Amino acid sequence: MAALAGAAPAVGVMPAFATAATLDWQLPAADLSAAGQNAQVVQLAVNPVDGGATAVWRRRNGATPNKWIVQAATRPAGQASFGAPQDLSAAGQDAYPPQVKIAPDGSAVAVWTRFNGLTPSHSIIQAATRPAGQASFGPPEDLSLPGASAGNPVLAIGGDGTVTVAWPRSNAVQVATRPAGQSSFGPAETLTSDAAPLNGPNIVAAPDGATTVAWTRTNNPSTYVPEARTRPAGGGPFGSIQAIGDPGIGTDPALAVGPDGSVSATWIRQVSSVNVLQVATRAAGQGTFAAAQDVSGPQSANWPAEIAYGPDGATTITWYGSTGADDVIRVATRGAGQPSFAAPEAISQRGSAYRPRLAVAPNGSATVAWLSDLAGSRLVQAATRFAGDSSFGAATAISATGAEFAAPAVGAGPDGTATAAWMFINGSSNTIIQSARGLAPSDPTPGPDPTPGPDPTPTPTPTPTPIPTLAVAGLKAKVSKTGLYLASSATVSGAGKVTQAATTGSGKSLKTWCRASVTPAAAGTFALKCDLGRKGRAYLKKKALTLKVATTFTPTSGVSVTRVATLKLKRRR
């Protein structure tokens, strides 16, 4: 068999990461939904006062007909685990992805979309509330009117307890409001005309109850304008529509509100064929947003992005962007009182990383959770920047490996403790919801000064654990008339396991062409054969193939290390 001609592989080394402390994640993750039916699309809210948490998701109910229903589970303050799920939506009609928020008094509000079963059938917005101190949600309340379909609701709860829900209906944005102290929502109010298609909306509420709703309006087939309207504190009508960014190709804006009432919006806008992340801010007490500024730098940015304020007014934003071979999670921060964001920080390892979610705790700690494709396995990772630190600590795997995940969610308690939830394929045909909690490190309580005694015998300094090493050499493709495989050698520093996977694409389009592994009993050089088989050979007869080859060494003790190579294979008949 002859070696295929092609470009020499470029073997990359993982970037060095900060050695800051990480959260103490309580693993393995716990199942929140029951097995037997698919559960999907989890959202999460954590009480910033006491650390209690509520997760919501949709799940098949297993009845006839088998419809999607909305479920919720709650972890009370001071408890380590979530309680049993509760059905929020009625059976009989499909209900779609929910959202949830927790109010300052500890009550929780969930919203979702559900078909009303009328003829003709339309989707409507519903909400349910769990009163403060109660274990269960009350019955659902219809927020939108029949006659046209509404969907994708979002909600915000102000510091005064006012709850506002926003959603798109036809081509218009509508809202419904429940004033503080009231038990039901008022009638729906339309914020936009239905003359132009819309994307969004998103919504935030300030500590004083002022509420901002933002969306993207399409004013021709290829031009989008981010817009917003704000209702002042104390109620009253929403102000006029304000354009908060320049027209262009873009996405609907994400929103965040600061402790002083400042509001920042972020979106992606295409500039010279590059997707640029932009942010515009309306300072506290001001009526308009300042000019947008670019945040993402020269690398292309991808949606979704998330933005949040800290207790001192510092602003953190996260997104994922391509470096060519990899998709990397990035974070940028604008310090309190600063006019612009610092240079972005990459917090994920080499490979495909995407769909970041951000939570900033009341103490200033920030945690990001995301999906990663490392060596052909998809998993959920998280990293934390503790209050007072300037960078994030190392990424931590918080889910099992070797399965498919989607839509992670993350929230933070008052001391920086984080809770994450995600969808997991449990080895059968079912997807379930799982969750894990990352405990914040605590300083020991100082005790009285000890009574002086004789000098102790010095304790020898322990020998540090050696850093594992991995070198990959000789990576090349070998082809016959009917077969195709990759040959390489891996040199490792000790006992452990070496795995290799060759993939194309990323995210949902990720495809694994082959896997190989070897288990060294000691340091040495070991051969790897990653067999693409007849399917790989058949593909190469039709077109060229560019593979991302990730080789990982996991020692018997210590951290794993990964090397990534890009191997370009020319078409060969």
Q: Can you give the CATH number for the domain in which 544 is found?
A: 2.60.40.2550
Residue 291 lies in a domain: yes
Q: What is the predicted pLDDT for the residue at 219? A: 77
Same domain, 238 and 282: yes
- Among 402, 418, 439, identify where a domain stops: 439
Task: Assign 6 a pLDDT band (cuts: 50, 70, 90).
Answer: very low
Same domain, 6 and 40: no
Residue 444 lies in a domain: no
Q: What is the predicted pLDDT for the residue at 461? A: 40
Burial letters 138-174, b for 16+ CB under 10 A, else e: eebbebbeeeebbbbbbbbbbbbbbbbbbbbbeebbb
Residue 413 lies in a domain: yes
Q: Does residue 323 or residue 547 have the better pLDDT? A: 547
Residue 377 β-bridge partners: 374
Same domain, 172 and 202: yes
Residue 459 lies in a domain: no
Same domain, 477 and 430: no
Q: What is the predicted pLDDT for the residue at 536? A: 92
pLDDT digits (tens, 9 = 90+) for 545-565: 999 888 888 888 766 677 778
- pLDDT score of 148 more than 90: no
The first and second tokens of residue 516, run together, are 């190989």
Q: 552 and 375 in contact (C-beta within 8 Å)?
A: yes
Residue 422 lies in a domain: yes
- pLDDT score of 336 more than 60: yes
Average pLDDT, the chain: 86
- pLDDT score of 502 more than 70: yes
Q: What is the predicted pLDDT for the residue at 508? A: 62
Same domain, 315 and 378: yes
> CA-CA distance, 238 to 210, in Å (whole number)?
10
Task: Assign 568 a pLDDT band (cuts: 50, 70, 90).
Answer: confident
Task: Give percent of the chain with pLDDT exceeding 70.
Answer: 87
pLDDT digits (tens, 9 = 90+) for 511-526: 889 999 999 998 888 9
pLDDT digits (tens, 9 = 90+) for 169-222: 988 999 999 999 999 999 999 999 876 767 889 999 999 999 999 999 887 767
Same domain, 7 and 29: no
In terms of average pLDDT, the best of 20-34, 156-170, 558-572 is 156-170
Q: Does residue 487 or residue 510 have the better pLDDT? A: 487
The first and second tokens of residue 314, run together, are 């510092």
Parent domain of 556: 2-11+468-569
Region at 69 (left for phi over 0; alpha for psi -120 to 50; beta for the rest): beta
Same domain, 361 and 248: yes
3-class DSSP assignment, residue 273 = coil
Residue 16 lies in a domain: no
pLDDT digits (tens, 9 = 90+) for 43-60: 999 999 999 999 999 999
Task: Over range 58-75, report the average pLDDT.
Answer: 92
Q: Does residue 405 or residue 20 have the better pLDDT? A: 405
Task: Assign 14 a pLDDT band (cuts: 50, 70, 90).
Answer: very low
Q: In CATH, what number is assigned to the domain containing residue 91?
A: 2.120.10.10
Task: Assign 8 a pLDDT band (cuts: 50, 70, 90).
Answer: very low
Q: Which of these, 124, 96, 129, 97, lies nearest to 110 by C-alpha position?
A: 129
Q: Does residue 255 or residue 376 have the better pLDDT? A: 255
- Among 439, 458, 480, identify where a domain stops: 439
pLDDT digits (tens, 9 = 90+) for 382-429: 999 999 999 999 999 999 875 666 679 999 999 999 999 999 887 666
- Among 422, 439, 456, identify where a domain stops: 439
Q: How many domains does the chain have?
A: 2
3-class DSSP assignment, residue 171 = coil
> CA-CA distance, 79 to 225, in Å (whole number)?
45
Same domain, 366 and 391: yes
- pLDDT score of 2 more than 60: no
The first and second tokens of residue 325, run together, are 């071979």
Q: What is the predicted pLDDT for the residue at 548? A: 87
Q: 351 and 552 in contact (C-beta within 8 Å)?
A: no
3-class DSSP assignment, residue 477 = strand
Same domain, 389 and 427: yes
Same domain, 238 and 277: yes
Positive or negative, the Cα torsion across 66, 70, 74, 80? Answer: positive
> CA-CA distance, 401 to 419, in Å (whole number)?
19
Same domain, 194 and 237: yes
Q: Does residue 453 or residue 231 have the better pLDDT? A: 231
Q: What is the predicted pLDDT for the residue at 59? A: 96
Same domain, 344 and 491: no
Q: What is the predicted pLDDT for the residue at 419? A: 98
- pLDDT score of 239 more than 90: yes
